[in-house]
Chains A and B, each alone.
Chain A
Amino acid sequence: MGQPAPDHHVASSFPGVRIARPVGFPVGGVWVEQLGYLLGYCKHEVASVTRLPTVNGTTAIRYVRSPGAVALLLCVRPNVGTSVGDRMTVSPSVGGAGTLAGTSTVLDGTTGIATATSTDGTPDRYFRYFDVSGLTVGTGYELVVTTASHTGTSKGIFSMRVEEIARVTTDPVGAPSTDPGVAWVWPRGGNYLFSGSASAASDGGAGFERIIGQLDDARSKVRRFPLNICSMDSDANAWSTTSAAFANPTWNFTGAATRPRWYTRAKRLYGTSTANQLTARVRYKSAGGELQVRIITTPVGGAATNNDIVCPLAAAHGTIATGAVTIATSGTNQEAFIEIEEKVAGGGTAYVSAISLHDNEV
């Protein structure tokens, strides 16, 4: 969720920061504001998925918690029809190995979302908020969503959007181990480095230590999702391949022109020669042989990089494989595009129901 970024000091003038002069309190104040923005309020979109197959079933979105995030928003829009709408229950299941822990984490209402019958041109939207304060920062979790029709018309979901929700206030003094940011008093006047209370020693130490620690958190633990796409966990609706060599898989489109390409702006922290570091996760089923998913990242105007994710034999949908991916930051305007190819050994058919990428700077 957004907030206006606080004012910056301009490096060419750096008011209050002159060589051989003490550093004034207002400089530290700007640091506090900027850290609060980067860690407390600049929460990233996790996923915006639209046009899922018009069936009911199970699908999943990848989520990795960032520091201080306590709630996760799930916004679901059921599909609408031209004549008869669907009424269904959407069940965000948050249990199971590697998934969000426990169904009791829904903050409002019940877990299941009972939708009304939709007949309008714009689909109704339904929200659920999850308490994610207990999840480990940096660990990948699956937000599993299951839909069941009440009417038998099986129109499924039009869109799902997942977003971390910012808190109105953060309390780095009272809850330093869970709340991000820095207290105003720490870079206080008098030009001294001031240590906070001993209890504030978490995550980079107290006082000025904490400023540096929180700065590092803002660099490496606040993650974007340049890709987070999903279909359904079923043979009929997942993306499939039978190719023994890397090739574009069969997406669930109509028509013949079927090679999707997604663009993003690479995160450039260390100059144009150092790539954006990410983690890929593939949700799949491959009962006949080992599947490999190739995530091709190409900076605009540059050369492609192949990132191959090995997906061992798995008889059931919902199996997870992960791997490292890089996106070169040398593209025009730092932009790059992502394409997917797959191959499967053993002559079987492999199915992929979701692919995601998230920042993993170290």
Chain B
Amino acid sequence: MAREIGVVSGASAYIKHPVAAAASSLVQDGRPLDAGTAHIITHNLNVLHRESGRHLVTWLGPGDLPKPTDNGYENLNEHVPPSDQRIGTHMEIAWNIYANYTCNFDGPFMLTRGRDDATSTNGRALHLPPKIRVWVTAYSDGVASLKIYAAATASESPPRNGYLALATKTITSAALTHETLDLVLASAGRYRHPSAADGAADCEVCYLWLGFKHAGGATTMGWVSASAYELTET
């Protein structure tokens, strides 16, 4: 990364600096601070920032997904909205968590806004909401498809009522398949604004959802595990 100095073994590395007792310190009172030490500290801080992306989720799935009636809408005493009344295909599933497993979710997650944008201005990088990478290990029956949705919402209201980010993949293999879905958040979340003291405490709240549309008639499709974590790269 441009904000780090040196490349060691193919990647920029943290440089350990001795921590000494004050009496014998390598950095003593009253002495000028040299530019080399300043570079190392700045570099180390940037390495730690790059590696500060947070791991959000390790989920164990239910295994087989029973095929729900009306893609889960039956349990809401509703029907699947007609296609001309949907604002996206994600509305084809009900996103409720009754026993038919059309979705999984958790939150609220307080996300950092530490992702750099692709360009920087005036020697300073801008900061964007994070990119969230979701991995799902799932399987179909080898005949029909299992459509997987990942979504981030700003509240506990399910994605059929709106979302911050949405991604989808479809699998048809009967073997365990490992799919990645990236959620790139727009800056539309809620924030806790800076406090009166030094430390601003902004954060962005989101809820993470997995949704499943079971296209087959059999019950031999489902998911067994999922993970999600922040990416601080652009």
Task: Give residues in A with beta carbon < 8 Å to B.
Answer: 1-5, 7-15, 17-23, 27, 30-31, 34-38, 40-42, 44-45, 47-51, 77, 80-82, 121-123, 125, 158-159, 161, 163, 166-170, 184, 187, 191-195, 201, 204-209, 211-213, 215-216, 218-219, 222, 224-229, 251, 253-255, 257-265, 267-274, 329, 335, 337
Q: Knowing that A17-B39, A121-B76 are A-B contacts, what are 20 other residue pairs whose CB atoms are under 8 Å apart, sorted by A's residue number? A: A3-B201, A8-B49, A11-B43, A14-B38, A30-B42, A42-B52, A45-B55, A48-B56, A48-B109, A184-B198, A193-B31, A216-B19, A225-B55, A226-B55, A259-B224, A261-B178, A269-B14, A271-B8, A335-B133, A337-B135
User: Given contacts A168-B197, A207-B29, A261-B225, are A213 and B35 in contact (CB under 8 A)?
Assistant: no
User: Given contacts A5-B49, A269-B47, are A50 and B106 in contact (CB under 8 A)?
Assistant: yes
Which chain A residue has the least Cβ–Cβ distance from B126? A7
**Chain B interface: which size bin?**
35 or more
Most chain B CB inside 10 Å of its own CB: which residue of A14, A125, A222, A251: A14
User: Given contacts A17-B38, A259-B224, are A8 and B22 in contact (CB under 8 A)?
Assistant: no
Which chain A residue has the least Cβ–Cβ distance from B197? A169
Distance A12 CA – B105 CA, assembled complex (angstroms): 42
Chain A nearest Cβ from B208, distance in angstroms: 8
B35: chain A residues at CB < 8 Å are: 17-21, 23
Contact present for B41 and A212 (CB under 8 Å): yes
Interchain Cβ contacts within 8 Å, total number: 323
Distance A106 CA – B41 CA, assembled complex (angstroms): 39
* Interface SS majority for chain B: mixed
Chain B nearest Cβ from A63, distance in angstroms: 14
Assess whether B70 is interfacial by the CB under 8 Å rule: no
**CB < 8 Å: which of A8, A37, A42 contacts B125?**
A8
**CB < 8 Å: which of A44, A213, A271 contacts B54?**
A44
Contact present for A122 and B96 (CB under 8 Å): yes
Contact present for B110 and A163 (CB under 8 Å): yes
Which chain A residue has the least Cβ–Cβ distance from B62? A51
Contact present for B227 and A158 (CB under 8 Å): no
B105: chain A residues at CB < 8 Å are: 50, 159
Distance A15 CA – B39 CA, assembled complex (angstroms): 11
Contact present for B123 and A13 (CB under 8 Å): yes
Distance A201 CA – B23 CA, assembled complex (angstroms): 11
B residues 38-74 near A (Cβ < 8 Å) are: 38-39, 41-49, 51-64
Assess whether B118 is interfacial by the CB under 8 Å rule: no
Assess whether B104 is interfacial by the CB under 8 Å rule: yes
Assess whether B139 is interfacial by the CB under 8 Å rule: yes
A225: chain B residues at CB < 8 Å are: 55, 58
B residues 173-203 near A (Cβ < 8 Å) are: 175-176, 178, 180, 195, 197-203
Assess whether B97 is interfacial by the CB under 8 Å rule: yes
A261: chain B residues at CB < 8 Å are: 135, 137, 176, 178, 224-225
Which chain A residue has the least Cβ–Cβ distance from B6? A11
Distance A38 CA – B135 CA, assembled complex (angstroms): 26
User: Given contacts A4-B202, A50-B104, A169-B198, are A272 and B112 in contact (CB under 8 A)?
Assistant: no
> Chain B 71-114 against A: per-residue CB contact (8 Å), 1 yes, 0 no?
00001100000000000000000101111000011110111111
Contact present for A9 and B42 (CB under 8 Å): yes
Chain A nearest Cβ from B97, distance in angstroms: 7
**CB < 8 Å: which of B41, B59, B94 contacts A211?**
B41
Which chain A residue has the least Cβ–Cβ distance from B195? A168
Distance A250 CA – B195 CA, assembled complex (angstroms): 49
Contact present for A27 and B42 (CB under 8 Å): yes
Pull 13 A–B residue pairs with CB atoms less than 8 Å apart, ordered by A: A3-B113, A8-B49, A81-B98, A82-B99, A159-B105, A192-B33, A193-B29, A209-B20, A215-B48, A219-B14, A225-B58, A227-B58, A262-B227
Assess whether B127 is interfacial by the CB under 8 Å rule: yes
> Chain B 122-153 against A: per-residue CB contact (8 Å), 1 yes, 0 no?
01110100000101010100000000000000
Distance A45 CA – B203 CA, assembled complex (angstroms): 14
Contact present for A255 and B197 (CB under 8 Å): no
**CB < 8 Å: which of B29, B75, B112 contacts A42?**
B112
Contact present for B203 and A1 (CB under 8 Å): yes
Most chain B CB inside 10 Å of its own CB: which residue of A22, A270, A335: A270
